[in-house]
Amino acid sequence: MGILSSLCKNLRTCSIRTHSNSALSLLRRMSNVPENTVYGGPKPQNHTQRVTLTHLRQKHKKGEPITMVTAYDYPSAVHLDTAGIDICLVGDSAAMVVHGHDTTLPITVDEMLVHCRAVARGATRPLLVGDLPFGSYESSTHQAVDTAVRVLKEGGMDAIKLEGGAPSRITAAKAIVEAGIAVMGHVGLTPQAISVLGGFRPQGRNVDSAVKVVETSMALQEAGCFAVVLECVPPPVAAAATSALQIPTIGIGAGPFCSGQVLVYHDLLGMLQHPHHAKVTPKFCKQYAHVGDVINKALMEYSDEVKNGSFPGPAHSPYKISASDIDGFMHALQKMGLGDAASAAANAAQKIEPTK
């Protein structure tokens, strides 16, 4: 009896442990849950675990390039997961790429949160970073912290990104970090500042501007940022900033000497082929595919087949009704006074039957 009681107790313990381990495994795949907690201890990294700041620091220390892609929805997030991308940025560039605006300025916090939540549902592996849109953090540190909190709590992000290196932006970054939220900085061409930059203009192309890029990057590091995006600056300037910093730099149009690279999902896939997107597609973007051409071809073929009646055919009309039920259905339609409908059903049944 004692042996049986002991065996049952051990089985219950194993069951509890199995359930606990499954729950912990699921929890670790959720956004905002650190990989290494003070209670759980360090766990080995693998391809399926969410990337954390610790993981990024390890890659940077080893000199391993960091991959980052800007994406805005669930399907693209799933693709980033499959490809093993390190960081997914939900960028305010959604204003241009998804919403069709000419700048990033119009997008709101609420609109950004919709994109953030969609990406968070699709990406189980990358570190998720959400942009603070224009007008959501400039007024005060309280506004900046409140917006950053929303991006994490309501958007499911792991960190936020903010643009610029003005003293107020540095102060905002510091306040957000002190609130317990990871911050990625962004210097060089900062699209939210096109009003004062005079358009989408590269930075760091003269001595003063180049020095400012490096100084601003260092100030953001001092404020507690875990990484800095360098956008549209000459490669030597990016190399200098990368050397001066102890945190990773993520380049976009900044040459090969950064700690990592970022491109927009739609841009690198060559997804959008229309005049608006041609107007805003950056010169530095390499297209690794021409998905837009494939999409256009598929849409035209679909349109043609609908017009000529070849789609949908029997192969794409899978839901069947038996011959006896067809007869009963036609009889019911006749009783309802719908003779034409009964004839239509009979003709459809004959045409949809696959050729034997």
Residues designated catalytic: 231
H/E stretch holding 79 reads: helix 74-83
H/E stretch holding 180 reads: none
127 has which bridge partners? 87
Mind giving me the DSSP string for 215-228? HHHHHHHHHT-SEE
Q: How far apart are CA 221 and CA 173, in angstroms?
A: 10
Q: How far apart are CA 315 and CA 159, in angstroms?
A: 47
3-state secondary structure (DSSP) of residue 190: coil
Q: What is the DSSP-derived secondary structure letter of residue 305?
A: H
H/E stretch holding 169 reads: helix 167-178
Q: Which two tokens stand for residue 131?
A: 């942009």
For residue 180, give the nearest of 352, 24, 34, 354 by alpha carbon.
34
92 and 104 in contact (C-beta within 8 Å)? Answer: yes
Which residue's structure tokens are 């017009």? 307
φ/ψ bin of 65: left (φ > 0), alpha (ψ from -120 to 50), beta (otherwise): beta
The amino acid at 241: A
**264 backbone dihedrals φ, ψ, rounded to 5°:** -80, 135
Which residue's structure tokens are 């997107």? 277
182 has which bridge partners? 159
Which residue's structure tokens are 């192309």? 205
Q: What is the DSSP-derived secondary structure letter of residue 182?
A: E
